[in-house]
Amino acid sequence: MRLQFCTILFLFFQLHLVAQHFDLSDKRNDIVTVNGIFRFPSFTDGTIVMRSGVISPQRLNYNISTDEMYAINQQGDTVAIADPQAINFISLGSSRFYYDKGYLQTINVTSTIILAFKQMLTGTLQRIVGGNDKNKKEVKNDDFFTGNGQQYTSGSDEAVSVTAEEHYFFGDADGHFSKAGKDFIFQHFEKHQAELKSFIKTNHTNFNRLEDLLLITQYCSHLDH
């Protein structure tokens, strides 16, 4: 039990090193508008495993703001990976990335269940409008950035604030994911519904809390389908 708890703590802190929140207030938004916000500080050696069985080593980085995986090609250009539906998974850093209506980054992978997350970015553009008289100027806030790659170039009288929110998913060995919740658990572990209901009730499982998701994922790793 002590080893299991330590494993959960390690995974929790590892995620929070990765799933950081971004605060770009009062900064020109060049990173967001031109390059997007990348998961890793630099491109990293990774491996793309295709559903066809082809394995391709690449230097990769995930762009959160456009929900695209980028590679550096032989010419040194940064290009988005084409046809992500043909990808089985991507190994990058200490995680895997799956593609199911968008990229999902794994937190914990077991033989029976995958716990993954996706960050959604929301940006607010603060724009000063009005005349030259400072006393008459007004501040207008516009939501402009929602993780879909929309771009905006900020001016001298504008400031941008970007925040990130994590959404959690359960997945199976075939890379099919659903929002983390009881429905997925009961469907994939039908023979153990009574045990799972008892576990959820005893532990007051909140499927929006990472700590609780790690606990139930670890519990399900010992169950068969």
Average pLDDT for 130-155: 52
Tell me: do 126 and 196 sit in the same domain.
no
Which H or E element spans position 193? helix 193-203
Minimal CA–CA distance to 176: which of 85, 92, 53, 94? Answer: 85
222 against 90, higher pLDDT? 90
Tell me: do 191 and 144 sit in the same domain.
no
Contact 29, 142 (CB under 8 A): no
Residue 113 pLDDT exceeds 60:
yes
Distance (Å) of CA 123 to CA 21, 41, 72, 101, 126: 12, 20, 28, 22, 10
What is the tens place of the pLDDT at every residue in 11-43?
333 333 333 333 333 333 333 434 457 888 889
Of 22-26, 68-72, 98-102, 151-155, where does mean pLDDT reach its minimum? Answer: 22-26
The total of structural domains in the chain comes to 2
Tell me: do 163 and 84 sit in the same domain.
yes
Residue with tokens 């402009």: 144
DSSP 155-191: -TTEEEEEEEEEEEEEE-TTS-EEESSHHHHHHHTGG
**Report for 10-14, 56-60, 125-129: range of highest mean pLDDT:** 56-60
The three-state secondary structure class of 218 is helix
The three-state secondary structure class of 202 is helix
Tell me: do 108 and 188 sit in the same domain.
no
The three-state secondary structure class of 6 is helix
Q: What percent of the chain has pLDDT over 70?
A: 66
Range of the domain at 220: 181-225
In a domain, 8, yes or no: no
- Please provide residue 183's backbone torsions phi and psi, each rounded to the nearest 5 degrees: -60, -45
Mean pLDDT, the chain, as a whole number?
76
Of 15-19, 46-50, 126-130, where does mean pLDDT reach its minimum? Answer: 15-19
The three-state secondary structure class of 46 is strand
Q: Which structure tokens are listed for 76?
A: 């040194």
Distance (Å) of CA 223 to CA 116, 184, 203: 19, 14, 17
Tell me: do 51 and 35 sit in the same domain.
yes
Please count the other Cβ atoms lying within 10 Å of the Cβ belonging to residue 189.
18
Residue 110 pLDDT exceeds 50:
yes
Q: Which structure tokens are listed for 55?
A: 């394995």
2 against 82, higher pLDDT? 82
Tell me: do 174 and 134 sit in the same domain.
yes
Tell me: do 127 and 68 sit in the same domain.
yes
Tell me: do 35 and 99 sit in the same domain.
yes
Determine the Cα–Cα distance for residues 12 and 8; give it in Å rounded to an integer: 6
Tell me: do 53 and 107 sit in the same domain.
yes
- Please provide residue 100's backbone torsions phi and psi, each rounded to the nearest 5 degrees: -145, 95
Q: Enter the pTM of the model.
A: 0.72
Tell me: do 185 and 170 sit in the same domain.
no
Contact 35, 70 (CB under 8 A): no
Tell me: do 46 and 99 sit in the same domain.
yes
Q: Which structure tokens are listed for 110?
A: 């077991």
Tell me: do 216 and 111 sit in the same domain.
no
Average pLDDT for 122-127: 67
In a domain, 12, yes or no: no
Q: Which structure tokens are listed for 174?
A: 């075939």
Q: What angle do CA 21, 22, 27 make, to 5 degrees?
A: 165
What is the tens place of the pLDDT at every residue in 146-200?
444 444 445 555 666 667 788 999 998 888 999 999 999 999 999 999 999 999 9
